[in-house]
Amino acid sequence: MTEFGGITLALSKGRIFEETLPLLAAAGIVPTEDPETSRKLILATNRPDVRLVIIRATDTPTYVQYGAADMGIAGKDVLIEHGGADLYQPLDLNIAKCRMCVAVPRGFDYEAAVRRGARIRVATKYIQTARDHFASKGMHVDLIKLYGSMELAPLVGLADAIVDLVSSGGTLRANGLVEVEDILAVSSRLIVNQASLKLKHDLLQPVIDAFAGAIKP
């Protein structure tokens, strides 16, 4: 393992990266490259003591948990699935906002299935969240783990329903699905490695404070 004495911040490409840029700017941090066009996985910034690692969203808590990154930004969806153990979560950054919901094909009577106590099949990437949700309703479901494109599952008979993230609902509509239950509001959080917070407190705390001051309601 290579030693980097500064701050390593773990981010995922796409909306989390985009929506984190203003927060970084508030902390005086500007990436020198764009992860959408660069193939590099470690990006430098204008500050020699701050670097970014660009990873898959679901991997962010793991990098921070093990201290491979001092800080990271991860969706609540990802944090629930990870468990969040050992992670300090000082801020809800109020970015990458969406919601976790249950969706079914238009025409499938979900409420009737619930009333009958039918055992339905649910496809999702979010096994933990889905399990907790249906357990709290006293429903018996068979969960099928998928890694992407949950919307396809009910269309080809793999599942009766899905648990997935939605924001505008456009993807659901385009695939003939309707939202039937809201599970949880999702936004991204700042997560910090506990040991880093102690050992690099003078470096990390000003960044945390700058982020805190730049959060939009």
Q: Which is nearer to ligand ADP, 97 or 131 (CB)?
A: 97
Q: Which is nearer to ligand ADP, 64 or 78 (CB)?
A: 78
Chain residues 100-159 in contact with ligand ADP, contact rule CB under 6 A: none
The mark string for 156-195 relative to ligand ADP (x by CB under 6 A, - otherwise) is ---------x-x------------------x-x-------
- Applying CB under 6 A, does 19 fall inside the site for ligand ADP? no
- Applying CB under 6 A, does 70 fall inside the site for ligand ADP? no
Please return the burial class of 85, using the count of CB atoms within 10 Å of its CB with bins 0-12, 13-18 and 19+: exposed
- Applying CB under 6 A, does 35 fall inside the site for ligand ADP? no
User: How near is the Cβ of 76 to ligand ADP at its closest, in Å?
Assistant: 7
Q: Which is nearer to ligand ADP, 80 or 113 (CB)?
A: 80
* Beta pairing partners, 145: 124
Q: Which of 7, 10, 16, 141 binds ligand ADP (CB under 6 A)?
A: 16
User: How near is the Cβ of 144 to ligand ADP at its closest, in Å?
Assistant: 17
Q: Which stretch binds ligand ADP (CB under 6 A): 30-38, 43-51, 61-69, 96-104?
A: 96-104
Q: Which of 9, 52, 96, 208 binds ligand ADP (CB under 6 A)?
A: 96
- Contact status, residue 162 vs residue 141, Cβ threshold 8 Å: no
Query: Where along the sequence are the contacts to ligand ADP (CB under 6 A)?
Result: 12, 14-16, 56-57, 75, 77-78, 96-98, 165, 167, 186, 188
